A = this chain, B = another copy of it.
Amino acid sequence: MSKHKKSALQENEGVSSSEIASDSAIQSFKSKRKKELDINQLTAALLNKNTTALSQAITLVESQNLKHFEKANSLINACLPHANKSIRIGITGVPGVGKSTFIEAFGKHLSAAGKRIAVLAIDPSSSITKGSILGDKTRMEALVKDPNVFIRPSASGDSLGGVARKTRESIILCEAAGFDVIIIETVGVGQSETTVHSMVDFFLLLKLPGAGDELQGIKRGIIEMADLIAINKADGDNFQKAKRAQIDFNNALHHYPKKSSEWQPKTTVCSALKNEGIDEIWKAILDYVHITSENNYFSEKRHEQNKFWLLQTIEAQLKSEFFNKPVIQEALKIQLKLLETNKTTPFAAAEYLLKLRD
């Protein structure tokens, strides 16, 4: 945690003084920020778009320390009325597709258009690798220095559910701190795309130029989730290849059922390196927001996501309570053996285990 705090302080050294509000609560926050946290002062500073306060708030929300839980909850409750006003964009793609370069070009484009952008990341492996994603800030040098941009390394946690919760709460904090666009990057490991998809408004899949055969390698369901497929690195010799890949993907999209958003998923080519095709992507996102705001899908989707996470959290807790009981763990092993040798049925085994708990 202290690592996060330090990097959060470092990364905001370049914050312009105009961003720092002058009322006394915030002055007091600044002088006290190395002592004990005052939630009211922290909230006031955050709502005043102070990114140091935002960093500290996220650190608090990410804390595993039990005595921080209540503080984190009051902070989030104070932020909630100011949240929900951004566009949340999920970005995924295999390693090597150029996600960092893309986010850098995309972020600069939005910043130049006067938008404030927060970049978060979901990396279910970060608890093991200690945060590979976005950890190396040098990959996004120009962005880090941009006062309109806030970059936060992946939350770590012992489960994807835990990481997801922290990321969703961080989104609320970023929105309350006045960010217009929240980008959630995923490494594409395990279930991370599904998790990101369930917390964003728009899902962007980055692809490399390549033959149609490459389609075979795509993880199940990823194309189905995409609102836009952007074929990156479409420059020089790769341009024609990228255009051919675009045709393939258009074909593939044609084979998927219509989405209830009335949005027809699109494909595009771009070169993040040469800064080409970036504006088209942003325009497609604005089109999406326009269409889905008109037909109410935008807010309905957020409500559905909230409901999903409510039920998801309860179910995860019920399951973990049950399966973490030592008596169940022991008995489950035996029942699975019996099942494998066809000496019981799944239903008889389930009933046995449920009775054992009572």
Which chain A residues have a beta carbon within 8 Å of chain B's beta carbons? 73, 76-77, 80-81, 83-84, 165, 168-169, 172, 212, 215-220, 223-224, 251-252, 254-258, 303, 306-310, 312-315, 317-319, 322, 335-336, 339-340, 342-351, 353-354
Contacts and interface: CB of A to CB of B under 8 A. Distances in A.
25 contacts: A73-B348, A80-B342, A80-B344, A80-B345, A81-B342, A168-B347, A169-B345, A215-B255, A216-B258, A218-B257, A220-B224, A220-B257, A251-B251, A251-B255, A303-B339, A303-B340, A306-B345, A309-B346, A310-B336, A310-B339, A310-B349, A310-B350, A313-B347, A313-B351, A314-B353
In the complex, the 4 A-B pairs of residues with the closest C-beta atoms, listed nearest first: A309-B346, A313-B350, A310-B346, A318-B318
Contacts of A353: 314
DSSP majority for the A interface? Answer: helix
A317 B354 contact: yes
Nearest to A340: B303
Contacts of A307: 336, 339, 346
Contacts of A309: 346-347, 350
A5 to B, nearest CB: 23
A244 B315 CA distance: 46
A322 B315 CA distance: 9
